[in-house]
Amino acid sequence: MRVQSICSILATAAMLLWASSAGGCRTNQKKPDIIIPNNGEKQMATFYDYTLTAQTGETVQMNTFQGKVVLVVNTATGCGFTPQYAPIEKLYKDYHDKGLEILDIPCNQFGAQAPGTDEEIHTFCTLHYNTTFPQMKKADVNGPNELPLYTFLKSQKGFAGFDEHKFKTLLEQMFAKEDPDWASKPDIKWNFTKFVIDRQGNVVARFEPTADMAQVEACIVKLLEAK
């Protein structure tokens, strides 16, 4: 193995361990919202009941995406998975006209790898990856200040394990050292975790950052074809 490769792996391990000790994925799991409509009957919230804030400050209501397939992803600009911006942008270009929407939510909770302002992050993504899909304001996806949408998403699809990847063992060892029960908790583990929502608003899939983007694309294509 080349010295450069070894140094790269060690540097990544150090960053991951720092993030773990900082509590990046340790949270008290919240419960999803309960909606009380005009008839007074309690109903569990759906994907369409939530809102986000766009990078430009406007409120983005999820109910505007009814009938669409939606990919929600927490991102970071200084992560080993940051190059996934490229295939995500390709998904948007290839399938947006067919009904795909992508919601990019920058998050600085994992290794402090999204340190910039919303404007700086947007500039980085457009300059380096020519992204055109909507970017939201930077936000938390775990913990007391997590977005309510993420409380809902995690309640629908918990963590089911990392895929085979060069960082799989490293991630597993890191989290196990911090919390023996880490694998049973639905928390977002790292940057570029993805949720896929179908045309009816059902959260049908969760992909960890270690998942092959071809799997993500196959899932999206299948949902787009099921009109």
Is 79 a residue of the active site?
yes
Judge contact between 216 and 91, C-beta under 8 A: yes
Radius of gyration of the chain (CA): 18
In the numeric block, the tokens 């929502």 are attached to 197
Q: Which of 79, 107, 125, 219 is catalytic?
A: 79
Q: Which helix (H) or strand (E) covers residue 185, if one does?
A: none
Q: What is the torsional sign of CA 144, 156, 137, 85?
A: positive
The runs of H, that is alpha helices, within the chain are 3-21, 85-95, 118-129, 148-156, 168-178, 213-225
- Would you call 223 helix, strand, or coil by DSSP? helix
Catalytic residues: 79
